[in-house]
Chain A
Amino acid sequence: EAQVTQNPRYLITVTGKKLTVTCSQNMNHEYMSWYRQDPGLGLRQIYYSMNVEVTDKGDVPEGYKVSRKEKRNFPLILESPSPNQTSLYFCASRGPREDTEAFFGQGTRLTVV
Protein backbone atom coordinates (compact mmCIF):
# COMPACT_ATOMS: atom_id res chain seq x y z
CA GLU A 1 0.00 0.00 0.00
CA ALA A 2 1.31 3.44 -0.97
CA GLN A 3 2.06 5.26 2.25
CA VAL A 4 3.67 8.26 3.87
CA THR A 5 4.31 7.53 7.54
CA GLN A 6 5.00 10.22 10.09
CA ASN A 7 5.94 9.74 13.71
CA PRO A 8 4.93 10.66 16.28
CA ARG A 9 1.28 11.59 15.71
CA TYR A 10 1.15 13.72 18.85
CA LEU A 11 3.95 15.36 20.79
CA ILE A 12 4.05 17.76 23.71
CA THR A 13 7.46 19.16 24.52
CA VAL A 14 9.11 22.00 26.37
CA THR A 15 10.80 25.05 24.91
CA GLY A 16 14.37 24.39 23.86
CA LYS A 17 14.29 20.60 23.90
CA LYS A 18 15.47 19.29 20.53
CA LEU A 19 13.06 17.00 18.70
CA THR A 20 12.80 15.13 15.42
CA VAL A 21 9.67 14.21 13.51
CA THR A 22 10.29 11.33 11.15
CA CYS A 23 8.77 10.85 7.70
CA SER A 24 9.09 7.83 5.47
CA GLN A 25 7.54 7.00 2.08
CA ASN A 26 7.42 3.69 0.21
CA MET A 27 6.68 4.97 -3.31
CA ASN A 28 10.24 5.79 -4.41
CA HIS A 29 9.23 9.42 -4.85
CA GLU A 30 11.87 12.00 -5.61
CA TYR A 31 10.06 14.95 -4.06
CA MET A 32 9.34 15.27 -0.35
CA SER A 33 8.08 18.26 1.61
CA TRP A 34 7.20 19.42 5.09
CA TYR A 35 4.24 21.69 5.71
CA ARG A 36 2.72 23.27 8.76
CA GLN A 37 -0.99 23.92 9.02
CA ASP A 38 -2.29 26.79 11.12
CA PRO A 39 -5.87 28.13 11.33
CA GLY A 40 -6.51 30.82 8.74
CA LEU A 41 -3.06 30.38 7.18
CA GLY A 42 -3.61 27.14 5.32
CA LEU A 43 -0.71 24.88 4.49
CA ARG A 44 2.69 26.57 4.41
CA GLN A 45 5.79 24.82 3.12
CA ILE A 46 8.71 24.62 5.52
CA TYR A 47 11.33 22.73 3.49
CA TYR A 48 11.32 20.56 0.42
CA SER A 49 13.65 18.12 -1.23
CA MET A 50 13.79 17.18 -4.91
CA ASN A 51 16.13 14.25 -4.38
CA VAL A 52 18.72 12.69 -2.07
CA GLU A 53 21.07 15.31 -0.59
CA VAL A 54 19.07 18.13 -2.26
CA THR A 55 17.03 20.29 0.12
CA ASP A 56 15.66 23.82 -0.18
CA LYS A 57 13.89 26.30 2.03
CA GLY A 58 10.18 26.71 1.63
CA ASP A 59 8.15 29.70 2.77
CA VAL A 60 8.63 29.35 6.54
CA PRO A 61 11.97 27.61 7.20
CA GLU A 62 13.11 29.56 10.28
CA GLY A 63 13.66 27.32 13.30
CA TYR A 64 13.64 24.08 11.30
CA LYS A 65 16.19 21.77 9.72
CA VAL A 66 15.82 18.78 7.43
CA SER A 67 18.01 16.13 5.90
CA ARG A 68 17.64 13.76 2.97
CA LYS A 69 20.27 11.07 3.28
CA GLU A 70 18.07 8.38 1.80
CA LYS A 71 15.30 8.65 -0.76
CA ARG A 72 12.59 7.26 1.50
CA ASN A 73 13.25 9.37 4.62
CA PHE A 74 12.92 13.10 5.25
CA PRO A 75 13.10 13.95 8.96
CA LEU A 76 12.14 17.38 10.31
CA ILE A 77 14.37 18.64 13.11
CA LEU A 78 13.55 21.38 15.60
CA GLU A 79 16.85 22.18 17.33
CA SER A 80 15.33 24.53 19.91
CA PRO A 81 11.55 24.47 19.71
CA SER A 82 9.58 27.55 20.69
CA PRO A 83 5.86 27.99 21.41
CA ASN A 84 5.27 29.62 18.01
CA GLN A 85 6.15 26.25 16.46
CA THR A 86 3.06 24.72 18.02
CA SER A 87 1.21 23.51 14.95
CA LEU A 88 0.00 20.57 12.88
CA TYR A 89 2.77 19.26 10.65
CA PHE A 90 2.43 17.25 7.46
CA CYS A 91 4.97 15.41 5.38
CA ALA A 92 4.19 14.79 1.71
CA SER A 93 5.84 13.01 -1.18
CA ARG A 94 5.27 12.98 -4.94
CA GLY A 95 6.94 12.26 -8.23
CA PRO A 96 8.75 14.97 -10.20
CA ARG A 97 6.18 15.47 -12.95
CA GLU A 98 3.81 18.41 -12.67
CA ASP A 99 0.73 16.23 -12.98
CA THR A 100 1.50 13.83 -10.14
CA GLU A 101 -0.48 13.42 -6.97
CA ALA A 102 1.03 14.42 -3.64
CA PHE A 103 0.62 11.83 -0.88
CA PHE A 104 0.37 13.07 2.68
CA GLY A 105 1.13 11.57 6.04
CA GLN A 106 -1.45 11.57 8.81
CA GLY A 107 0.02 14.61 10.48
CA THR A 108 1.92 15.34 13.69
CA ARG A 109 0.31 17.63 16.23
CA LEU A 110 3.11 19.37 18.10
CA THR A 111 2.63 21.46 21.22
CA VAL A 112 5.56 23.41 22.63
CA VAL A 113 5.03 24.74 26.15
Chain B
Amino acid sequence: GEDVEQSLFLSVREGDSSVINCTYTDSSSTYLYWYKQEPGAGLQLLTYIFSNMDMKQDQRLTVLLNKKDKHLSLRIADTQTGDSAIYFCAEISILTGGGNKLTFGTGTQLKVEL
Protein backbone atom coordinates (compact mmCIF):
# COMPACT_ATOMS: atom_id res chain seq x y z
CA GLY B 1 0.00 0.00 0.00
CA GLU B 2 0.95 3.64 -0.08
CA ASP B 3 3.11 5.01 2.71
CA VAL B 4 2.30 7.62 5.32
CA GLU B 5 5.41 9.78 5.05
CA GLN B 6 7.36 11.64 7.69
CA SER B 7 10.85 13.05 7.83
CA LEU B 8 13.16 10.75 9.79
CA PHE B 9 14.90 13.16 12.13
CA LEU B 10 14.38 16.53 13.80
CA SER B 11 16.74 18.23 16.21
CA VAL B 12 15.74 21.27 18.27
CA ARG B 13 17.08 23.18 21.22
CA GLU B 14 15.31 23.07 24.56
CA GLY B 15 12.71 25.82 24.80
CA ASP B 16 12.24 26.13 21.03
CA SER B 17 9.16 24.94 19.16
CA SER B 18 9.23 21.65 17.25
CA VAL B 19 7.17 21.02 14.15
CA ILE B 20 6.78 17.45 12.92
CA ASN B 21 5.17 16.97 9.54
CA CYS B 22 3.27 14.08 8.00
CA THR B 23 1.75 13.39 4.61
CA TYR B 24 -1.01 10.81 4.70
CA THR B 25 -2.63 8.87 1.90
CA ASP B 26 -6.36 8.40 2.38
CA SER B 27 -8.39 11.52 1.67
CA SER B 28 -11.41 9.91 3.32
CA SER B 29 -9.64 9.30 6.63
CA THR B 30 -11.94 10.37 9.42
CA TYR B 31 -9.42 10.64 12.22
CA LEU B 32 -5.71 11.34 12.23
CA TYR B 33 -3.48 10.60 15.17
CA TRP B 34 -0.15 11.38 16.72
CA TYR B 35 1.52 8.68 18.80
CA LYS B 36 4.70 9.00 20.86
CA GLN B 37 7.23 6.25 21.41
CA GLU B 38 9.74 6.69 24.21
CA PRO B 39 12.92 4.59 24.23
CA GLY B 40 12.28 0.93 24.99
CA ALA B 41 8.52 1.32 25.08
CA GLY B 42 5.47 0.84 22.92
CA LEU B 43 3.54 3.68 21.31
CA GLN B 44 1.17 5.85 23.30
CA LEU B 45 -1.55 8.11 21.97
CA LEU B 46 -0.59 11.76 22.19
CA THR B 47 -3.49 13.49 20.47
CA TYR B 48 -5.85 13.15 17.53
CA ILE B 49 -7.92 15.33 15.24
CA PHE B 50 -11.22 14.76 13.51
CA SER B 51 -11.05 15.30 9.77
CA ASN B 52 -13.57 18.16 9.74
CA MET B 53 -11.27 20.25 11.94
CA ASP B 54 -8.37 22.39 10.78
CA MET B 55 -6.66 22.76 14.12
CA LYS B 56 -6.68 21.31 17.59
CA GLN B 57 -4.79 22.65 20.58
CA ASP B 58 -4.01 20.65 23.70
CA GLN B 59 -1.69 22.44 26.15
CA ARG B 60 1.73 22.57 24.45
CA LEU B 61 0.54 20.58 21.45
CA THR B 62 -1.05 22.05 18.32
CA VAL B 63 -2.24 19.84 15.50
CA LEU B 64 -2.83 21.36 12.07
CA LEU B 65 -4.68 19.54 9.32
CA ASN B 66 -4.69 20.48 5.64
CA LYS B 67 -7.10 18.05 4.01
CA LYS B 68 -6.57 19.41 0.52
CA ASP B 69 -2.88 18.57 0.64
CA LYS B 70 -3.32 15.56 2.98
CA HIS B 71 -0.84 17.16 5.33
CA LEU B 72 -0.81 16.85 9.10
CA SER B 73 1.56 18.58 11.48
CA LEU B 74 2.30 18.48 15.19
CA ARG B 75 3.75 21.53 16.88
CA ILE B 76 5.25 21.18 20.35
CA ALA B 77 5.74 24.51 22.09
CA ASP B 78 8.56 25.05 24.59
CA THR B 79 10.12 21.69 23.76
CA GLN B 80 11.68 19.90 26.72
CA THR B 81 14.25 17.10 26.94
CA GLY B 82 11.43 14.79 27.99
CA ASP B 83 9.88 15.31 24.57
CA SER B 84 12.77 13.41 22.95
CA ALA B 85 11.10 10.40 21.36
CA ILE B 86 9.86 9.00 18.06
CA TYR B 87 6.60 10.53 16.89
CA PHE B 88 4.28 8.63 14.56
CA CYS B 89 1.33 9.99 12.68
CA ALA B 90 -1.44 7.54 11.83
CA GLU B 91 -4.59 7.52 9.74
CA ILE B 92 -7.78 5.50 9.90
CA SER B 93 -8.99 4.03 6.60
CA ILE B 94 -12.39 2.45 6.08
CA LEU B 95 -12.15 -1.05 4.60
CA THR B 96 -14.41 -1.96 1.68
CA GLY B 97 -15.48 -5.16 3.41
CA GLY B 98 -16.35 -3.38 6.63
CA GLY B 99 -14.29 -2.29 9.59
CA ASN B 100 -11.32 0.05 9.55
CA LYS B 101 -7.56 -0.05 9.50
CA LEU B 102 -5.01 2.05 11.37
CA THR B 103 -1.88 2.81 9.32
CA PHE B 104 1.21 4.36 10.85
CA GLY B 105 3.81 6.60 9.31
CA THR B 106 7.52 6.09 9.15
CA GLY B 107 8.13 7.98 12.40
CA THR B 108 10.17 11.11 13.21
CA GLN B 109 12.95 10.90 15.77
CA LEU B 110 12.90 14.13 17.77
CA LYS B 111 16.09 15.00 19.61
CA VAL B 112 16.02 17.88 22.07
CA GLU B 113 19.39 19.40 22.85
CA LEU B 114 20.31 21.58 25.80
Contact = CB atoms under 8 A, between A and B. Distances in A.
Nearest to B51: A98
A109 B104 CA distance: 19
B43 A98 contact: no
Nearest to B89: A42
A35 B31 contact: no
Contacts of B92: 98
Given A42-B107, A50-B99, A59-B1, A99 B42 contact: no
Contacts of B88: 42-43
B8 A40 contact: yes
Given A99-B48, A106-B41, A107-B42, A42 B31 contact: no
A71 interface: no
B41 A35 contact: no
B99 A96 contact: yes
A98 B51 CA distance: 11
Contacts of A94: 102
A74 interface: no
5 nearest interchain CB pairs? A104-B42, A42-B106, A43-B104, A101-B45, A98-B92
24 contacts: A31-B99, A40-B106, A41-B106, A42-B105, A43-B88, A43-B105, A43-B107, A44-B104, A45-B101, A45-B103, A92-B42, A96-B99, A98-B92, A98-B94, A98-B100, A99-B30, A99-B48, A101-B45, A102-B35, A102-B45, A102-B102, A104-B43, A104-B44, A106-B40
Interface of A: 4, 31, 33, 35, 37, 40-45, 48, 50, 59, 90, 92, 94, 96, 98-99, 101-102, 104-107
Given A104-B42, A104-B44, A105-B42, 4 more contacts: A33-B102, A43-B88, A90-B42, A96-B100
